[in-house]
Structure 1
Amino acid sequence: MSIDWLGFGYAAAIAFGGFMGYKRKGSVMSLVAGLVFGALSAYGALKISMDVRDTSISLLSSGVLALVMGMRFKNSGKLLPAGLMAVLSLLMFVRILFRIMM
């Protein structure tokens, strides 16, 4: 059993980003979304750590987050936080797809 450290780091980055959005702007929605997607990503990383073929939760959460944050980046043009989260989520999505193909 190998631990998916990148998956857990990604989950922590999402949760931390949601917390920072709440702390800086007072955005409760950012906090809730960060905690929900962070928890889903952490659960997905745990599932991958137990069985490398069980990628559905991680794939879904990173894909949805890449899509949502990509649209926010397109509309706002702001690199932080939307652009950064879109890129991180897209990289995680591609990483999981490569794991599926291998």
Structure 2
Amino acid sequence: MPADVPGYLYAGAIATGGIMGYVKAGSIPSLAAGLICGTVLVIGAYQTSQDPSNYGLQLGTSSLLAGLMGFRYYKSGKIMPAGVVSLLSIAIISRIGIRALNNQATKY
């Protein structure tokens, strides 16, 4: 199976965002959340690289980030970082959905 490159890039972006939040604002919660979510997303990308139908961890984490960061964007109106993370998360969720539908279509 090919590597889930978009999944790994997304995980890296989330972890990097947490590190940048710490560097720029000294936010330890941002650092912790970014590294934890980034690590979970790397594991999820690895799982989907091994079996494309094993997308639960990646889907759950992306949904959590889309919801939380989407809410933060709604309340603050700031595109960075909340808007960007929510858009990236929605893109990954959409990608997972399209891949899942394509896998179902090839079974029949």
Counterpart secondary structure, 1:88:
helix
Once superposed, what is the RMSD of the aligned Cα atoms?
Answer: 0.5
User: 2:14 matched to 1:8?
Assistant: no
Match of residue 60 from structure 2:
60
Q: What CA distance in whole angstroms lies between the structure 1 residues aligned with 2:53 and 2:79? A: 33
Amino acid at match of 1:37: C
Aligned-residue offset at 1:28: 0.3
Amino acid at match of 2:86: A
Q: TM-score, normalised by structure 2?
A: 0.93
Match of residue 80 from structure 1:
80
Aligned-residue offset at 1:34: 0.2
Q: What CA distance in whole angstroms lies between the structure 2 residues aligned with 1:101 and 1:67? A: 23
Give unmatched runs, 5+ long, in structure 1. Answer: none
Larger radius of gyration: 2
Aligned pairs, how many? 102
Aligned-residue offset at 1:55: 0.4
Give unmatched runs, 5+ long, in structure 2. Answer: 103-108
Aligned-residue offset at 1:91: 0.5
Aligned-residue offset at 1:56: 0.3
Q: TM-score, normalised by structure 1?
A: 0.98
